[in-house]
Structure 1
Amino acid sequence: MAAVAFDSLEYAHQLEAAGMPRAQAEVIAQGLTSMFVHNFDSLVTKDYLDARFAESDAKMDARFAESDAKTGARFERMEGKFNLVFWMLGLAMICVVVPEVLKFLG
């Protein structure tokens, strides 16, 4: 885990140099130090984000694969229905057109 470089003594000296009373500068520096220590574990790291994005990508890939499979199955069913309609139209054409052609020729 990365470390945070914060020198509380140096910060207190800077506050003192700016005109703040020494006791107040030390309390502020101690407060910032305890805030850094307390909140350091909740910082998000690059490794954490990389892991979360990899996990998210894997879930998204699985969803796309599932959706693609469902879409493929739907297209197969539609193709079967179109083939049925094609054959039914062909049969209807034969039943209607052939007798008319035979009447015309005969």
Structure 2
Amino acid sequence: MPEVTTQTDLSQVLAILQTMQGTLNAVQADIKTVQADLQALTLEVKVNQAKTDERFKSIEEKVDALKQEVSDLRLQQRATDNRILTFLFTAFITAVGLLTKVIFFDPKG
């Protein structure tokens, strides 16, 4: 049996459809807001990533500079060690020479 649709039924269906349309519009607005927030967060992440990359680059440069300074200090230390050893060797040879002179060429003996 075919049911007869009345004006009241059609009004109710229209009201439901209008309510659904309003809800759909609200959901679409929420989606747009979420998309805007997501874009803002993406931009913020990119900015923070760039800052972090710059910090790492700065730290790497400082580490490289420290490595160079350590290398330079090693060279300076080697030069200082060589000077000290040369001085000690010269002092030892001088002492041996003086002892040899005193022992073998003593004017009293």
- TM-score, normalization by structure 1: 0.53
Indicate which of 54, 61, 82 corresponds to 1:83: 61
Distance in 1 (alpha carbons) for counterparts of 2:76 and 2:12: 92
Q: Which runs of 5+ in 2 are unaligned?
A: 87-109
Could you list the per-position Cα deviations for residues 32-75 of structure 1 after superposition, in whole angstroms to 9, with x for gaps in the alignment?
Answer: 52442231123348x94765554443222211111111111212
Distance in 2 (alpha carbons) for counterparts of 1:53 and 1:82: 43
- TM-score, normalization by structure 2: 0.52
Q: Which runs of 5+ in 1 are unaligned?
A: 1-19
Higher helix share: 2
Q: Answer 1 or 2: higher relative contact order, Cα 8 Å, separation at least 6.
A: 1
The correspondence of residues 21-40 of structure 1 with structure 2, limited to 5 A, is 25-26=3-4, 29-30=5-6, 33-40=10-17
Indicate the structure (1 or 2) with the bigger Cα radius of gyration.
2
- Quick check: 1:63 aligned with 2:41? yes
Instruction: Give the % identical residues.
Output: 11
Aligned length: 79
**Map of 2:99 onto structure 1:** none
